[in-house]
A and B are shown apart, each in its own frame.
Chain A
Amino acid sequence: MMNPPLVETRELSVHFGGLQAVNNVNFSLRDGELRCLIGPNGAGKTTFFRLLTGVHAPTSGTVAVNGRSIAGLQTHQIARLGVGIKTQIPSLFDNLSVRENIWLSARRNHSRAAANRIADSVIMDEVGLGEYANTETAKLSHGLRQWVELGVVIAQRPKLILLDEPAAGMTGHDMEKTAELIKRINRTSAMIVVEHDMEFIKRIAKTVTVFNRGEVLVESDVDTVLADERVREVYLGKQTGRQHDTGA
């Protein structure tokens, strides 16, 4: 218990003008843990990821990675602490090939020879995109681009992987493959996964954190969370005495 948590936020808040996107979030993740983050649209999940990666700076509160505060660090410096992210809409080097995308990710922290090996192993074994290795990512379908970005993040060999809706736009079989891949990646990296699909969540997660209106609503094991009345309310929009909720 001597080690600090891999990620820890304390009273983390950010607001954009009048909008309180993330409000007073205390969150902690152990090394090797896999956590699912759920919540209706606009609950602040993606913004929370942006705070963890340094794309946004918090209005108040702190984020620590491995016990080290990331305040004042640039995005690339946070990445070098071992944080990798797959964004909701795949963010790739569109005019470069699949292999080059993944190679560039590996090359940052490895020699050229090692980067070649990692790129080969990620493409062939981990995401299975061998037949597209030399295809420009701009030409691929949304689903394949999701996998390429997963490959890019894996090739980074980060300690912590943030996945923003990895299964979005995927069909049954692909979703199953993605769940398997996530479990496999989790053997070497801790993960925070934002997802909406409850079946998918049940398949991969033990602990779930629910966001609503920028705050942590509940944090518990999957079954408890799914049975929680408040969670059902925010997801199904059954709140009374309020205007229409954004969630559904």
Chain B
Amino acid sequence: MNGSRNYWPIAAAVIAALSAIIVLPVIYDEYALLQLTIYAILSVLALSLAFIWGYGGILSFGHAVFFGLGAYTYAIGAMNFGETTIALLLSMVIPALFAAALGYFLFYGRISDVYLGAITLTVTLIFFDLASSTSGPQYRIGQVALGGFNGIPSIPQLNVPGFPDWTLSTTELFILSVAILALVYISLRLLISSDFGRVVIAIKENEVRAELLGYDARKYKLVTFVIGGAIAGLAGCLFANWGGFTSPAVFALGQSVQIIIWMVVGGVGTLAGPVIGCVLMQWLTSSLASFGTVNNNLVLGGILVIVVLLLPQGLVPTIARLARGRRPVQRLDATAGALGATPAKSEVGA
């Protein structure tokens, strides 16, 4: 690759994150900031699936398992250690290790797409049942009772590394969440335009061709899956911080399906799309909840149907197409305009 790499999406992410960090805490109260924080945290979760599904072609139907593992790992670690830095790291390492083990069987066992979806879905449901059935006092890890269906309450807030008494305030957690969102976005953007990322996309495009060229598709998919697992775990850690609480609901079917809906609405094969889809759907959910009279799921389901029928490529690719005023030949191509660093026509050469 040469110097033609497109840096403007990265610059845009930095500017957006900095503006959010500087401006929003000034103009919003703590309650509103807390609401914005959860958008940022769930957007990190959206990015993890955006990478492994949108670019790696791996549809993990139970992606919440890594999110939930991250939340539980952080809760158990933070409550046992007191200091939260190790718990934060473990909340990425444990889901990553679990993704490595699960992914090994999936990819080295050549499990094809539909079965991969079914297996990942089953795995998260097993975790849901498992976590729900740990209600007795005998189910504890270290000092922490797992609490069964009620989950783990009173999870300590992250502290500044090395300063156990300096825990994050609501505003600081907001700043951290936005910073992590930007960092994850930028890292994935760089990864996608790296040589590794090009091969990952190539394997999604045509796995047999990639293997006939000598690329070990299993290895690349496994690494992709592990990276996605670690990012989802990080989101889970932030989520446990946000509410100070985690329960088996993090492993529930609805949690996994939600991520897929964000992606479908925002646009599969993009990074910005799932983030926009996540914020939009979350905002709608919380707005609808305040009415109380409308069934949330009914409205969200309706929106999903409308998007699939009218904007089958999702919001971001469709807007990009309109902005450029021409027909998209391919989803990846359409994405290019919106996100700059194109997954389709990469900067590999030219």
Contact = CB atoms under 8 A, between A and B. Distances in A.
B198 to A, nearest CB: 6
A51 to B, nearest CB: 14
A119 B350 CA distance: 10
A116 B199 contact: no
B170 interface: no
B349 interface: yes
A11 interface: no
A85 B206 CA distance: 14
Nearest to A81: B214
B195 to A, nearest CB: 6
B350 A134 contact: yes
A91 B206 contact: yes
Interface in B316-350: 329-333, 343-346, 348-350
Interface stretch (A106-114, A179-187, A195-203, A223-231): A106-114
Nearest to A100: B348
A59 interface: no
Contacts of A156: 213-214
A108 B212 CA distance: 11
B211 A93 contact: no
A91 B209 contact: yes
B1 A112 contact: yes
B215 interface: yes
Interface string A123-144: 0000000000110101100000
A218 interface: no
B208 A96 contact: no
Nearest to A83: B212
B212 A84 contact: yes
B346 A97 contact: yes
B329 A139 contact: yes
B2 A100 contact: no
B17 interface: no
B201 interface: yes
A93 B345 contact: no
Given A55-B208, A95-B332, A100-B198, A116 B213 contact: no
Q: Which of B206, B215, B333, B348 has the most CB atoms of chain A within a 10 A radius of its CB? A: B348
A178 to B, nearest CB: 20
Interface of B: 1-2, 195, 198-199, 201-202, 205-206, 208-217, 329-333, 343-346, 348-350
Given A74-B211, A112-B195, A139-B329, 17 more contacts: A76-B211, A76-B216, A79-B212, A80-B214, A91-B212, A93-B206, A95-B205, A95-B331, A99-B349, A100-B346, A108-B214, A116-B1, A136-B333, A136-B345, A138-B329, A152-B213, A156-B213
Interface of A: 53, 55, 74-76, 79-80, 84-85, 91-97, 99-100, 103-105, 107-109, 112, 116, 119-120, 133-134, 136, 138-139, 152, 156
For the complex of A and B, list the 7 residue pairs with the smallest distance between their C-beta atoms, beginning with the closest.
A79-B214, A93-B205, A99-B349, A75-B211, A95-B332, A76-B211, A100-B348
12 contacts: A74-B211, A75-B211, A76-B211, A84-B213, A91-B208, A93-B202, A95-B205, A95-B343, A103-B348, A120-B349, A136-B329, A152-B213
